[in-house]
Structure 1
Amino acid sequence: MKPSLLCIGLFAAIGLAANLGSCRCQPDQPCWPTEAQWAALNNSIEGNLVTVRPLASSCHDPDFSASECSVVQANTNNSTYRSSQPGALQWENWETWPAADEKCYTETPRSEPCEQGRLPLYSAEVRTAQHIQTVVNFVTRHNIKLVIKNTGHDFLGRSSAPKSLQILTHMMKNMSISNEFIPTVPPMLNPPDSAKAVTVGAGVQLGEMYAFLGSKGLMAVGGTFSTVGIAGGYIQGGGHSFLGWLHGMASDNVLEFEIVLADGSLVFANAYQNSDLFFALRGGGGGSFGVVVSATLKVYPDYPLIYATLNYTMDPGVAFWDGVGAFQKHILRLNDQGGSGYYGMVPIYPVSSTQNVSVLLSSMAFVNQTNSTTVKELFSPLLLDLKQAIGFEPFFDMVTYPSMSSMYSTILAGSYATGTGMRLGSQLVSRDFMKSDNSTRLTRAMSSLNFDPGEAVAGVILTGGQVSKNRNIASALNPAWRDTMVHVIFTRLMSPDMTFEEQETKAANITRHEVPIFKSLEHGKMGAYMNEADADEVGFQKSFWGENYPRLRSIKASRDPNDLFIVRKGVGSENWDDDGLCRLNRT
């Protein structure tokens, strides 16, 4: 070979190596696994590797199947069904890939092309920790983008990425109770005191856990959507709960994780070993530090409670927001007396083709309380103020449940409706802000938003009490949670008949105009909840983790130096493109 050709070949090889180091391997590159290698992976995980097609592919040519399509269409808004499907997420906009103009909707005509979008090409439907280890080693060896899907309940696009391999933990349903659980400790340490606990596999969903615990007279801190996976992004992101006032955030209640790391090792993380990981996994965000195999949580009695509901419906207008303002003046007082719950407003709710109404809905639980007279007296001043504000008596009702599990089996009955396109904006609002009688300012901020029919703004009141008292717990949870009174969320619908450009315009408005309205209430000091936030949150590192981010970044660099686990707006993601396919810089 001539010297000049040798140099050209050498520089070409260096360029290829640099590209492979900075980008994940793509199917059209020589580094992509052969069919034989994919087959070998399938054999090594006991035949649980599947090729992924979009959920709606059977509704489009050339893969159209009338029988299969009818099943998909009947279940497209069924969250239980979507959680089990490798080719589906709970929010269909995260199945699309606008940058490549790829989509596949159940709602669009059969003749429209069905493209892969941000869905993975393959899914490993893992059953064991060993399966996960095998897949992690495979993607490391071949430099393939890895995504983890627990249930697909994610508003930030963390459960999907184009040209990727998915680990689907749905089938990991093991649950067990220990009356005297002791975290795994190194041989040189004395074991800590035991605690009553439940260990749940990575695929266990909240509804399943509540039924299991309720049958044993027990309960754990968890959320209020039955198909959310307890061990996934919910608890790794913090996890608010009806039980928060009594026992803190879900992440406060973890005793131990079992997790597969980027090097393929299977370890326990608790306060006594791998304590850096234990810190990171309790609030540092799902999918950023490894693949959680199981989580062990404290359990409590299956408390009785009083569940109070309040709502009113009226013509849109100023009086509706006057009612919202009257309601928000009382939430601090109700929370201080143990009330936890939600309230939401739909300013434009269509009841016919020619008529819209405005609706406020509220539900609050008073856990471990059984005196309905006391709770009714707590609501009396609120009901009087509401009647004066809106001009009529709002609906109010209370139900006493013998246990939390019986409440959950009632309010979570059926399947939560998902399968639409959705983007959010959110902000944490402090107790000090609400103590200063700033509820009027909060109402003004909410009412200043422009709403399309069906879009909502809501307040989550699941803090105070023990959430605030647990501020000395060493975890990655954003410290702002300890000072939070209301977690404000607003929704924006992304319908299939919108172009990607129209969806992007709407999403950009959330980031540039609408979220800043709420940040300005307290000059941005409080941040947002990563599990229910703007998917393009500006300064997400501080907003999601506050002062904890530098430590999280250090743990990430130590435990995952090659960034195997990168998710949108997760720890370390600032060094990667939006899909986690190519590195942006080397820092």
Structure 2
Amino acid sequence: MVILTSSQPMLWLRQHLVLPFLLYTSLLGGAEQPKCRCLYGDPCWPTQNEFTNLANQLSQPLLRPVPPPSACYPTNMPSGNCSEVVAHYTDGNWRADQPGAMQNTNFESFVFLNGTIDACYLNVSLNIPCEQGNVPPVSVDVRSAEDVQAAVVFAKRHNLRLVVKNTGHDYLGRSAGRGAFMIWTHHLKNMSYDASFTPSGAPRRHSAVEVVTLGAGVQWHEAYTFVSQQNRTIVGGISQGGSVGAAGGWVMGAGHSAFSPTFGLGVDNVVQFTLVLADGTYVTANAFQNVDLFWALRGGGGGTYGVVISTTYRVHPAFSVGLAAISTNFPSYAAALAVVTEWTKLHPTISDAGWGGYTYINQVGQADFQMMFVSPNVSIEEATATFKPLFDIVGNATEGQAVAVVRSYPTFLDWYTAFFTLPGQSQVGGRVELASRLLPKAITMQDPEKVAKILLSLKAGVGINSVGGGAVSKVDPSSTGLNPSWRKALAEVYISETWEEGVSAATIAQARERLKQNTDVIDKLTTDSGSYLNEGSLYEKDFKKSYFGSHYVDLKGVKKKYDPTSLFVVASGVGSEYWDEELKCRL
């Protein structure tokens, strides 16, 4: 007999009696599944008593998320402080702390087929009522695997549309869902360092690995600080304020970094995941346990196979950072063509040498060219020699009007702090949709001028994330579930469209049509329409091909094995082709 003392009995009862009982009862009633999910407002929506029973199993009270601007509509939805909302509206870390906030506010809105828009706008002078929009009305603020298990079992039992959200960074809107039930992983903040980690299930003689394990709610600014305290560096996402989640959708979509040409993508640095499956089971996935699931989680898309609880990453020794940057305006199309052609020609060499970075090219007429590349442990002299051909071309083409910078930073964190923690800088809080293509190395080597002409022909600004080549290209494409196009790519080319708050559905449709047209332009850079899942479009002609490539069939097999009833369904995710546009009903 085991005698339990102090606070242990309640935890033991939850783990050994409550969750298994809920799981068992949720599976009663046969294998036939309802055609449509149950949404808020439907007769099948759980009763208050049923939500109370769920709340009794959780460590935190249930949340009722609302769009952040609701605080500015006191007669409609009195909630929060409007002044605080206005002051922090474009702060990514503030938005991440709000259960009802998405980083891009268009995903807080819902557009009906008849053109009606349900939303809550910050601009109260529009005189448009504040509505719930696309924000799930009920959420579980999970703090443990047990919380996640209870929430997953509840959603399955009641056939709810389930949404998993951490920070709300998602250009496909997968963090939101009208009338859905949300699992909010944002407070799974545990971090640990292990200088000698052995994956679960590994043979006794398996070599230990130096790692950090991050809870699903950890954000990159938190991870970078923690890893730096261990005198180590981790491959991670680069954004203003570091508000992107470090252990969830970022890595499951590929996870790129300016340092990927040296150390590989996020999927190449993962050692282990822990997660809760659709049946409520808590499992470990690595190279020795649930191997097929581990393969799929590395590139097969977030919100698709389960709810990740933690991710374990390999870490690297600390390093200094060499930087080369250019900022200029083009006086003519000929100057633009000369610069972008030379930039393209240089690209394969610098990527193979471990340089990665970010470039922005605007259409001729506005004529901007901004570039920043970085590489570990490179001196100022080495950086100058590498980029001298480009510096010379830019100087001649712009008659000396360009600004070129070469610098060195003692550590990764010094470089990151200098560029991505600047006050007043923001990438969020507006309305934006993206489309992207992976730029193959082959075309940059065979016809750099063609690449330059395509990029300059776009009727919008274009960003190029130079996050491929080098170490990324040396990984066996079959070793992860990631789209194999990544292994042949040097960079991700992306375009965007935005619109003003409160515009009509027709205006939004026009913006999306422009995005589609420009997607056709950048598609000329590829032979297979390969795209980055986490920075892609909802309007791909064939999302299976663009986001997953030849791995789609195998990913669908893993999906069917671990989530046979499709509890987890997300836009453009594996298996989503069997659901309607709102992801409510099976087709």
TM-score (norm 2): 0.90
- For residues 93-145 of structure 1, the C-alpha deviation after alignment (integer angstroms, 9 at most, x for no partner) is 11111115211121342732111111101111111110000000011111111
| Deviation for aligned residue 1:468 | 0.8
Query: Which residue number corresponds to residue 155 of structure 1?
Result: 171
Q: Partners in 2 of 1:51 and 1:75 — Cα distance?
A: 21
Matching residue within 122, 125, 128 for 2:144: 128
Among candidates 400, 409, 415, match of residue 407 of structure 1? 415
Q: Distance in 2 between matches of 1:288 and 1:20?
A: 18
Asked if the contact 1:316/1:357 (under 8 Å) is kept, the reply is no
Q: Equivalences for 1:473-488 in 2 at 5 Å?
A: 474-488=479-493
Superposition deviation, residue 29 in structure 1: 3.1
Answering whether residue 509 of structure 2 is matched by residue 509 of structure 1, we say no
Match of 1:295 in 2: 311
Q: 1:304 aligns with which of 316, 320, 324?
A: 320
Give the corresponding residue for 1:248: 264
- Corresponding position of 1:550: 553
Label 1:372 to 1:91 Cα distance change in 2 as closer, same or farther (>3 A). same
Secondary structure in 2 matching 1:144: coil
Distance 2:120 2:474 in 1: 47
Counterpart Cα distance in 1 of 2:499 and 2:126: 20
Structure 1, 101-110 or 424-433: larger mean CA deviation = 101-110
The residue identity in structure 1 corresponding to 2:483 is N
Candidates 373, 382, 388, aligned match of 1:364:
373
Q: Which of 54, 69, 74 is the matching residue for 2:67?
A: 54
Q: Which residue is equivalent to 1:92?
A: 105
Call closer, same or farther: CA 1:130–1:65 in 2, change over 3 Å.
Answer: closer
Aligned-partner residue type, residue 213 of structure 2: T
- CA deviations on 1:547-581 (whole Å, 9 max, x unpaired) are 11000001101110111000000000001122321
Query: 1:390 aligned to 2:398?
Result: yes
Aligned equivalent of 2:89: 76
AA at the equivalent of 1:528:
S
Cα contact 1:145–1:564 (8 A) shared by 2? yes
Return the offset for 1:27.
Answer: 3.0
Q: 1:432 aligned to 2:442?
A: yes
For the structure 1 residues 458 and 27, does the alpha-carbon distance in structure 2 shift closer, same or farther, using more than 3 Å as the test?
closer
Partner of 2:528: 525
List gaps (5 residues or longer) in structure 1: 1-16, 349-355
Alpha-carbon distance in structure 2 between the residues aligned to 1:574 and 1:191: 44
Write out aligned runs for 1:83-482 (5 A).
83-99=96-112, 101-109=117-125, 111-185=127-201, 190=204, 192-225=206-239, 226-313=242-329, 319-347=335-363, 357-369=366-378, 371-414=379-422, 416-436=426-446, 438-451=447-460, 456-471=461-476, 474-482=479-487
Mapped to 2, the partners of 1:29 and 1:472 lie a distance apart of 45
* Counterpart AA for 2:441: R
Q: Per-residue CA shift, 1:412-469, capped at 9, x if unaligned? A: 2146431100011211111111111x22222222222223xxxx31111111111111
Q: Which amino acid aligns with 2:208?
A: S
After TM superposition, give the deviation of residue 410 of structure 1 in Å.
2.3
The alpha carbon displacement at 1:336 in A equals 2.9
Q: Distance in 2 between matches of 1:67 and 1:139?
A: 28
Report the residue type matching 1:546 in the other structure. G
SS of residue in 2 equivalent to 1:231: coil
1:347-374: CA deviations, max 9, x gaps?
48xxxxxxx84322111101122x2112
How far 1:164 moved relative to its partner? 0.5
Distance across 1 between alignment mates of 2:32 and 2:368: 54
Per-residue CA shift, 1:16-59, capped at 9, x if unaligned?
A: x9997011113333321111211222232123311111111122
Please give the secondary structure, in 2, of the residue aligned with 1:264: coil
Deviations along 1:214-266, whole A, 9 cap, x unmatched? 11110111111211111111101111112212221110111110000000000
Deviating more after overlay: 31-40 vs 261-270: 31-40
Deviation, structure 1 residue 382: 0.6
Change (3 A) 1:408 1:521: closer
Deviation at 1:542, TM superposition (A): 1.2
Q: 2:440 touches 2:525 (CA, 8 Å); kept in 1? A: no
Percent sequence identity over matched residues?
A: 33
CA distance in 2: counterparts of 1:515 and 1:314, whole angstroms: 24
* CA-atom RMSD in angstroms: 2.2
For 2:256 and 2:60, the matched residues in 1 are separated by 37
Q: What's the CA shift string for 1:512-567, capped at 9, x where partnerless?
A: x2212222333x32511111111211211111111110000011011101110000
Q: From the superposition, tell whether residues 108 and 499 of structure 1 become closer, same or farther in structure 2 (CA, over 3 Å).
A: farther
- 1:136-159 deviations in Å (ceiling 9; x for gaps): 001111111110111111101111
Q: Which 5+ residue runs of structure 2 have no aligned equivalent?
A: 1-29
CA distance, structure 2, for counterparts of residue 271 and residue 18 of structure 1: 32
Aligned-partner residue type, residue 511 of structure 2:
K
Q: Is the 8 A contact 1:327 1:386 kept in 2?
A: no
Q: Which residue of 2 aligns with 1:540?
A: 543
Question: Displacement, 1:84?
Answer: 1.2
Q: Find the aligned partners of 2:464 and 2:327 in 1 and give their Cα distance.
A: 14
The answer to whether the 8 A contact 1:127-1:172 is kept is yes
Structure 1 residue 383 displacement after superposition:
1.2
- One-letter amino acid of the counterpart of residue 558, structure 1: K
Does 2:545 align with 1:566?
no
Q: 1:118 to 1:393 in 2, by over 3 A?
A: same
| Aligned-partner residue type, residue 234 of structure 2 | A
Q: Distance in 2 between matches of 1:76 and 1:317?
A: 38
Q: CA offsets, 1:313-350, max 9 Å, x none?
A: 356866445433343332223223321101012448xx
Find the aligned partners of 2:296 and 2:557 in 1 and give their Cα distance. Answer: 10
| One-letter amino acid of the structure 1 residue matched with residue 75 of structure 2 | P
State which drifts further: 271-280 or 63-72: 63-72
Report the TM-score, using the length of structure 1 for normalisation: 0.90
2:580 to 561, 565, 577: 577
Instruction: Name the CA shift for 1:320/1:108 in 2 (closer, same or farther; >3 Å).
Output: farther
Mapped partners of 2:101, 2:79: distance in 1: 19
Closer/same/farther in 2, CA of residues 156 and 27 from structure 1, 3 Å limit: closer
How far apart in 1 are the matches of 2:396 and 2:407?
A: 25
Q: Distance in 2 between matches of 1:111 and 1:243?
A: 47
Residues 145, 502 of structure 1: alpha-carbon distance in 2 compared, 3 angstrom cutoff: same
